[in-house]
Every structure is written in C-alpha cells, then in structure tokens.
Amino acid sequence: MTEKYMFGRPFETDAVVVDVPEAQGALPYGSVSVTDGFCFTYRMGEDDIVYGLGEANRGINKRGFCYVSDCTDEPNHLEDLRSLYGAHNFLVVAGRETFGLFFDYPAAMTFDVGFTRTELLQVTCRRADLALFVLTGESPYDIVRQFRALIGRSYLAPKFAFGFGQSRWGYAAQEEVRGVAEQHRRHHVPLDMIYLDIDYMQDYKDFTISEKGFPDFSALVEEMKQQHVHLVPIIDAGVKVEKGYDVYEEGVENGYFCVRGDGSPFVGVVWPGETHFPDVLNPDARAWFGRNYRRLTEQGIEGFWNDMNEPAIFYTPEGIADAKEELSRFLAREIRGESLWGLKDRLAGLANRPEDYRSFFHRVNGQMVCHEDVHNLYGCYMTRAASEALEEIAPGKRFLLFSRSSYIGMHRYAGIWTGDNKSWWSHLLLNLKMLPSLNMCGFLYVGADLGGFGADTSRDLLLRWLALGVFTPLMRNHSAVGTREQEFYRFERVEDFRHVIGVRYRLLPYLYSEYMKAALGNDLYFKPLAFVYPEDEIAVHTEDQLMLGDEIMIAPVYTQNAIGRTVYLPEDMLFVKFLPDGEISRERLAPGLHFVRVAVNEVPLFIRSGRCIPLADIAESVDEIDTGSLQVLGFEGAEYLLYEDDGESTDCRLEGHCRIVR
C-alpha cells in the first residue's frame, strides 16, 4: 500500500506515474518537523537494515553513513563522499518495522542513516515542499516492487546494447575508431559498440562532428555497422556560445536556455568554453533540444550517452571575477601556508559552486524557477528530452540511451552509467554493491566503467572487472585520457580477454531475457541475497554476492592476487566456471561456505537448485548470436522460460515472446 503525504507546495517532478490520493493524519512511521526546513526522523531498531538510495556510495545496507542527494560531477569517489551524480530518494527500512519511503523533492536532500546517532534515521532538506510516499508491504522486496509500479516501467534497451562496448576519452579520429574495431575483429574479441567521447565533436559543440577527425561520419557509421559495431556518441549538457553555431543561435533566439535573474542567458564554462544550458524543464525548450539528436540519427546513429548534465560547471565568469580579485589581493601580500592552501581550495571551489546554481533560472509554466530548487532534475530532463525526441524521430524503435546524472523518473527513459570511477579494486566492489540499489530505484540498464576510468589499470584488475561486467546490462570498458590505455590489446595474452568477453555473448540470451522480464514486470534484475533468502541471516548480510534474475547468483573476485574467493550458498547450487579452453566446469555444492578457485581468466557463476539457464554458442556480435540452438546449463530436468523478441521495437510484452527451453 502506498500513502502520499504532501508538505508545502511541491514541484511536480513526474517521478511518480500513479495517481495516489493525499493521505490525512499522522505518518505511520517516524515524524516530520517543518519548523526549520523539512526533517523526517525515525528511530531504527538495532538490527534494522536500510535499502535503497540508488546510485549512492557504500554498501547495500545504507546504514552508518550520511548521504546527500545533490547531483555532482565529482570524479573522486572516496569512501567518505556523500554525493554522486544521481538523486534517488527512495529507501526501505527493514527490521522491527518494515516500510518504504520516497521523498519526491528535486533539490538537495540529506539522509543521515544512523551516522550521527546509530539509531536515528534523519532525512532533511531546506524547504518543506515535497511529496512523501510511504509504502508498506509484506517484505522489503514486495515494497520495492510496489515502488517500481508507482514510478512506471523501466527503459527498454535495444538488444545490441547488451553487447560489449569499447570506449576511451580520447578517440578523436576515424582511424582510431577503425583501429579499435579492427583489433577486436582480428583477435575475435566480441564487440558491438564503440563509444565516442567528447573528441568526436567539432570544438565540443553538441550535435556536430569533427571535420578533421571524421570527414565522412555517416560513411563511417555505416562501415562500422557492416561490422556489427554501433558508434555511440556522447552529448553534453552545455551548448557552446559561438556566433553562427546554429544550435546556439536557435536557443538564444527562442529563449530556450536557462537565464540569469536579469533574463540574460546563464553562462557556465565547461569543455567547449562558455556554454548555455538548455532549459530542459521548459517543455518547448526540451522538445527543441531533443530534436537536435536527429542530426546524428540521420547519420545512422542509434545510441547516445548524455554527460555533464548535473549540470557540471567548471566555473562561471562571476566566479572567475571573484577569484581574480582574491588572487590580486593574495599577490599583493606576504604569502603564508594557510593562504596558499586557501587559494588552492578557492580555485577548486569554482567548480559546481552553490552560488552559481542559485543564480540561474528555468521557465516552467510561465514561472521562473530557481535552478537550485530543481537541481537534481536537470540530467533527468535532458535525457527525457532525448528520449521523447527519439520516439518522435523513429516511433516504436528502441535506442541505446544512458545518462550520467539522473533522478527517479529518468529510469523510464534511459539507463545510467555510474560515472568517473577509478582503476581501484575497491571500485570493482562498489560497482557490485551499487547494482541492486540502482535496480530498486528503477534503473535497470546500468554499468560502471570496467577497468576503471581514472588512474592506471592493471591487466588483472581489468580481467576481474570484466568478469563482473559480463553480468551488467551495460558492459563497457572506458577510461580517461592520460591514464594507461586499457583496450584488451594493450595487454599480454589477448586470448584471456577474448574468453572472458566471449562468455558475455554465450550468456546473452539469458541476460537479455532476465532484463526484459524485470523491466516488463517491474522487477529486479539484480537482487540482494536478502530478498531471496530473507530467513537466512548470513545471506541477509552478504553484500559481495548478488542474485541475477531467478536462476543465478554471482560472486566475482574483487581482490588482487586472489586465487579464488569464499562464497556463501544459501541453498544447493551448481558452481559453474567458464574455463579459458572453452570448457565449462560444473560442481554441485551444498549450502554453506565454500572457497572456490577462480583464475583471472575464468568466469564463475552459481545456478540455483533446480534451475537452469540457456547458453548460446560463441559469437562476436549480438547479431550473430544464434538463439535457435541454445544449450541448457544447470540442474537436470530444469527448464527455463526464455523471453525473446526482435530486440528493436518498443512493442514488448511477455505474452507471445516467451518459450520454454530445456
């Protein structure tokens, strides 16, 4: 059951798609104070677990830390970082009392989940203008499914998007792109996508193509498609200020950009230099911005990633003016350590300044809305702009689309990738732990930069991370300019990469089927063990293994130099290893703890008792997977209900698309 409590005058975010009548009376759980902003307080039981918060730091159980929903471009995902790129204000308290909470509020919001005081859950924000949904159900899992129905069906990715993608910030010319494709095909390492980061554009201008790097872009797109490779360009939020650049001119002319208090377009400096931000909260501006994607779809593009849409701001002219003044004062004086550090922090603080976010406005239904009050919606609405436009451009066709910044509601339009992680083993584990939380908030098409974006990766880290990425809907190797190159062919013994990535394609019919079932059924693709084995206390507290669909459990190796790992089996399972020689080892394991050996070039998974999964032959692209001759892997006599469709059209339903495989 869902109850809605209204406070003040909430901004309509469109996160919720079901009309819930306003509840009367007191909250069933906790209490709210609105005297100084908004404060929800609940006293947790000692052993209560708190799930949710989507793209957030730390564990599956969110307890013991303080999180702030405040979409931020922060590339250092340290253990004490409170804000990432998304704002997913849904959580489930499970224990003494079990209930869900969704705080539909698009500005900064703080979740102190037993950090300051072990037993206190406190949710606070500056303005008491929000809708609070309280969900009750028979279990955390049940509550999550109710919530998913409340916020509407998740984005359906095209089938090709379940292939492997190679990316690097730095690909700037068609020769490089061709080289990437050529290396994969030559070494028979599967590939379905090559991602284009900002360097494919002309001077970082949205919807343009570098003339020098890509003299005939549409021919390249077609050439790649012949090789079953989709090019997936990035689109950034900021539109470059440049006379004669038509997107800029159109936006200014029609008042489609966010404005300062005086009505002039707001200037934020990002990659292209000075930019304006499309006012994606204004329906006309949103439709206009979205129409621009056609410039690329007309060249054959079928997928996009939206970036820098928190929106990230390197600095503003106003910020620089302040800083220059301070620098001058500094230069005129004697310098001491403190002032030096202060100055450094001051320069760093020019990025994503609260003052800047407070200084510009959206025009929504004739009202000026301060950006700060709706900050967390920007990436969501930029991506909605793309999605709605793509549906107009090619009705009924699925596009690959994912975004960095997000708010709940965006899950209906696109997926997300989890932003600028690092080549750290701890980020492999963070990747794993974040997955079920993202699913709970509706984001099913998700993945992290495998191998790590920042810092230098190593061969073993990349291989181990790929062995997790085999299971994430978005499977992409991506890294930053200036770091060690990490395409598979930069390392010795390429056959190991061929094998590990190849396993993805053998499993793809299962993974795609489970994805579609989860999306169409408002269900989870990744589940904590706790949702499947709620009576098993060890399973409930296991955070380094996940259930994937109804058939398998995954337990990747995430420590360096390990020869395997310990795994907890809540039930009888079949331990399956895809061996580098193409063989598959199977071992039936009893419930309990096991140390399983897993080499760096092997992919492990566990099939639940009495279940099986379909297995395809090796293929080098999604197009080439033959689902007509699937084997079955698992317990004897088991059968699997396979979802299958054309992988392209949005006309998806379980009826008529499922068949039994045994």
Q: Which residues are at the interface with a copy of itself (CB under 8 A)?
A: 49, 58-59, 61, 63-65, 78-80, 115, 117-118, 269-271, 273, 314-315, 320, 324, 327-328, 330-331, 335-337, 340, 343-344, 347-348, 350, 422-426, 455-456, 458-461, 492, 537-538, 541, 543, 559-564, 566, 568, 593-595
Amino acid, res. 471: F
Nearer to a copy of itself, 115 or 489 (CB): 115
CB nearer a copy of itself, residue 455 or residue 652 = 455
Give min distance, CB of 518 to a copy of itself, in A: 26
CB of 434 to a copy of itself, least distance (A): 15
Give the burial class of 550: count Cβ atoms within 10 A of its Cβ; 0-12 exposed, 13-18 middle, 19 or more buried: middle
Indicate left, alpha or beta for 184 from its phi (over 0: left) and psi (-120 to 50: alpha).
alpha
* Spatial CA neighbour of 93 closest among 36, 32, 125, 46: 46
Which residue pairs, CB below 8 angstroms and at least 24 apart, start in 574-577?
574/606, 574/607, 574/634, 574/635, 575/604, 575/606, 576/604, 576/605, 576/606, 576/607, 576/633, 577/602, 577/603, 577/604
| Cα–Cα distance, 336 to 534 (Å, whole number) | 58
Q: Which lies closer to a copy of itself via its Cβ, residue 275 or residue 513?
A: 275
**Dihedral of alpha carbons 78, 81, 87, 93, sign:** positive
Helix axes 425-440, 459-469, angle to 10 degrees: 20
Q: Which is nearer to a copy of itself, 19 or 338 (CB)?
A: 338
For residue 117, the minimal CB distance to a copy of itself (Å) is: 7
Is the CB of residue 586 less than 8 Å from the CB of residue 525?
A: no
CB closer to a copy of itself, 2 vs 457: 457
Pairing of strands 400-403, 303-307: parallel
Q: Supply the minimum distance, in Å, between the C-beta of residue 350 and a copy of itself.
A: 7
- Nearest approach in angstroms of CB 340 to a copy of itself is 6
Q: Which residue has the tokens 């993202």?
A: 438
Q: Compute the least distance from the CB of residue 521 to a copy of itself, in Å.
A: 29
How far lies 98's CA from each of 28, 101, 221, in Å? 11, 10, 51
- For a copy of itself, the closer of residues 129 and 199 by Cβ is 199
Determine the Cα–Cα distance for residues 556 and 475; give it in Å rounded to an integer: 15
What's the order of all strands across the beta sheet hosting 120-125? Answer: 31-33, 38-43, 120-125, 109-113, 65-69
User: Going by DSSP bridges, is the β-strand pair 475-477/449-450 parallel, antiparallel, or unpaired?
Assistant: parallel
Is the Cβ of residue 213 or residue 452 nearer to a copy of itself in the bound state?
452
- Shortest CB 354 distance to a copy of itself, Å: 18
State how beta strands 230-236 and 303-307 pair.
parallel
Q: Which is nearer to a copy of itself, 127 or 498 (CB)?
A: 498
Shortest distance (Å) from residue 544 CB to a copy of itself: 9
d(CA 251, CA 257): 6
At its nearest, how many Å lie between a copy of itself and the CB of residue 61? 4
- Please identify, using beta-carbon distances, which residue of 422 and 611 lies nearer to a copy of itself: 422
**Which residue, 423 or 431, has its beta carbon nearer to a copy of itself?**
423
CA 202, CA 223: separation in Å to the nearest integer?
21
Phi-psi category of residue 323: left, alpha or beta, with phi > 0 → left and psi -120 to 50 → alpha:
alpha
- Please, what is the minimum distance in Å from the beta carbon of residue 458 to a copy of itself? 5
Q: d(Cα 141, Cα 387) in Å, to the nearest integer?
A: 29
Question: Measured from the CB atom, is 348 or 660 closer to a copy of itself?
Answer: 348
CB of 62 to a copy of itself, least distance (A): 9
Q: How many CB atoms lie within 10 A of CB 313?
A: 25
